[in-house]
Chains A and B, each alone.
Chain A
Amino acid sequence: MSDMRDSDLTSYRDVQLSPDFSELRRRFRRFVFPMTALFLVWYFVYVLLADYAHGFMSQKVGGNITVALLFGLGQFVSTFAITMIYVRWADRRIDPDAEKLRHQIEGEPQ
């Protein structure tokens, strides 16, 4: 039993060290972390604008619709847009490579 564990561990380490695995992880991080930072900045900037740019935010676009109101609705719209972008990206860029990695790992003799 302990022998099996050891050989398992080695193969896990192999996968972890393999360039394909690191590439998959790196690609994921390179997309997801900047995107997360970007949308957080967008939410936080809105709050800043609301506090310090009263004149701009309370400009009327038409009737009683102000810039602040449009931006506020924009928060929901952009959340949805970001989600769609992420889902499409994951379907196109992550799933096929993950599949490739799977064939590699499973194709290896045990």
Chain B
Amino acid sequence: MSPAISLTAIGLVVVATIGIGLFGLRISRTTSDFYVASRAVSPRWNASAISGEYLSAASFLGVAGLVLVNGADMLWFSVGYTVGYLMLLVLVAAPLRRSGAYTLPDFAETRFESPVVRRICAGLVVGIGTLYLLPQLHGAGLAVQTVTGAPPQVGAMIVAVIVVINVAAGGMRSITFVQAFQYWLKLTALATPIFVILLAWHQPVGVLDSLHGAAAEWAEPLSRAGGRDHPLYATYSLLLALCFGTMGLPHVLVRFYTNPDGRAARRTTVVVLALLGLFYLFPPMYAVLGRTFAPDLVGAGGDTVVLELPGRVFPGTTGDLLGALVAAGAFAAFLSTSSGLTVAIAGVIDQDLLRSRLHRWTGGDYVAVNSFRIAALIAMIVPYLAFTVTGALSLADTVGLAFALAASTFCPLLVLGIWWRRMSTTGAAAGLVVGGIAASAAALVNVAGAPEGGWPRALVGQPAAWTMPLAFLTVIVVSKLTPHRIPAGTARSMVRLHTPEAVDVDRGLPSR
């Protein structure tokens, strides 16, 4: 692999990202621009942006790696990533838009009238975001290491610095343009090498044939090819986490506010599903080809298969050029997801932790936008520090834990909060705390070093199947026990959540 060509390609992505970000800066002026791009992004742009932001290191590198190592079971990752959007659309997207809240903590506060629930939510947004940023930084480190041999800290540092600059400069509006551009870049980068490989081959069927034989077991679902115990439990748990976790991801939810109305939000989701489905055709092909051309990567965890495959198939200039394209696409993945997450986390840190303190310390001598910029810096420093102290977990596994945490906390809060009138404030807080502690304990154990094998490993590795029902149960039982703590304004909230947006009811929107 030639470092010079790949570094040039990565450099171009970085320049384009900053360039488009600065272009967006000129049109983002108000606080509303910063957070939700003034709710004026067309469905097609918005769908590209949502897909661009959603396809992270886990999708670009991780899925192919997991399928390469563990076999066809891992295709559930790509199905689950897609179905999560459907759940979000039918269960929470429209009511949440109508609530008028910008962020999850905003929703929690208006629905439950409690600053305590709000603060728990703010903490969870930061927790989920950090858990999701961690694999992006690991992926960046891995990519730069594969291309140049430099230590992983270099790649992670590059991504961290660029994201903070871009987010601090432009907020959501510029990020929308950057994300849309990056979806198409990622798709091109992932698809082109596959097409070139298939064209170069006169008989592409030969590749599939080579699978039968030594790798036949690998191609069968739930085969335990990767040495994972209890594959049925693990697969169900993973599916649950992905289906119900997407709605609780801070960077995903905020995107639905950037549509002008609910109808546009539905249109956007259809386009998103098509774009995601198209993208996910390719990672399994890398895994299949990887089994033939780079079987040695199986032992190394497989996360670099996408980056290394072109060079393995075509030693020489063609391989170098295709490798550079893939490296550039991978960087687009790290940058876009990290940017979206950083905007979401920074928004929460700014509103809930920083602004009032900053106001007090500086005696009112500050500008709101500056507080957001400082928050963006903090939002990236925390995961960067975590990155330097944690070992490398598989990329898609770490992301799976972020989904499990979201499914065990925000999913019950949103689904029950929107649909169940008798949910009490105490119930909401108890569910968040119990689900949050259970899922993050599982995540911490995983990051620190998972148990050897058997049930403990399966339960800790894929916690959603027990942590999510536990959280739902906690909310329901505690709410039944504390009927006097049902928020007084529940009737008002329900009307607000379920009447169409065109109706002029007070949605508690900040003045625009």
Task: Report A's interface with B, CB cutoff 8 A.
Answer: 8-9, 12-13, 15-16, 21, 24-25, 28-29, 32, 35-36, 39-40, 43-44, 47-48, 50-51, 54, 57-58, 63-64, 68, 72, 75-76, 79-80, 82-84, 86-87, 90-91, 95, 98-99, 101-102, 105-106
Least Cβ–Cβ distance between A47 and chain B, in angstroms: 5
For residue B269, CB closer than 8 A to chain A, the reply is: yes
Is A16 within 8 A of B280, CB to CB? Answer: no
CA distance A9 to B220 in the complex (A): 59
Is A47 in contact with B235, judged by CB distance below 8 angstroms? yes
Given contacts A36-B90, A39-B86, A76-B79, contact A9 B277 (CB under 8 A): no
Point out the residues of chain A lying under 8 angstroms from B83, CB to CB.
Answer: 39, 43, 79
Chain B residue at smallest Cβ distance from A12: B492
Contact B495 A12 (CB under 8 A): yes
B221 CB contact (under 8 Å) in A51, A83, A106: A51
The 7 closest A-B pairs by CB, nearest first: A98-B500, A50-B221, A12-B492, A102-B503, A51-B222, A76-B277, A16-B491
Chain A interface mostly = helix
Interface centre among A13, A15, A68 (most CB of B within 10 A): A15
- A105/B231 in contact, CB under 8 A: no
Whether the pair A35, B500 counts as a contact (CB closer than 8 A) is no
Kindly list chain B residues whose C-beta atoms are within 8 Å of the C-beta of A80. 270, 273-274, 277
B452 at the interface (CB under 8 A from A): no
Chain A nearest CB, measured from B274 CB (Å): 7
Number of A-B pairs, beta carbon distance below 8 Å: 119
Residues of A close to B506: CB separation below 8 A:
8
Interface of B is mostly: helix
Distance to closest chain B CB from A85 (angstroms): 10
B47 within 8 A of A: no
**Interface set of B (CB-CB < 8 Å, partner A):** 72, 75-76, 79, 82-83, 86-87, 89-91, 205, 208-209, 211-212, 220-222, 231-232, 235-236, 239, 243, 263, 266-267, 269-270, 273-274, 277, 280, 419, 489, 491-492, 494-496, 498-500, 502-506
Given contact pairs A32-B90, A86-B89, a sample of 10 additional A-B residue pairs in the complex whose CB atoms are under 8 Å apart: A47-B221, A47-B232, A47-B239, A51-B222, A64-B211, A75-B79, A79-B277, A83-B273, A98-B502, A106-B504
Complex CA gap A30/B236 in Å reads 26
Shortest Cβ distance from B45 into chain A, in angstroms?
19
- Evaluate contact between A83 and B86: CB separation under 8 angstroms: yes
Q: Using Cβ atoms and an 8 Å threshold, which residues of chain B touch A57? A: 221
Report whether A16 and B495 are in contact in the complex, using a CB–CB cutoff of 8 Å: yes
Contacts of B231 in A (CB 8 A): 51
Q: Which residue of A lies closest to B243 (CB)?
A: A40
Q: Which residues of A contact B499 (CB under 8 A)?
A: 15, 21, 98, 101-102, 105
Could you list some 22 contacts between A and B, CB below 8 A?
A8-B492, A8-B506, A9-B492, A15-B495, A15-B499, A16-B495, A36-B87, A43-B239, A47-B76, A47-B222, A47-B235, A47-B236, A51-B221, A64-B209, A68-B72, A76-B82, A76-B280, A83-B273, A86-B89, A86-B266, A99-B500, A102-B503
User: What is the minimal beta-carbon distance from B182 to any residue of chain A, in angstroms?
Assistant: 22
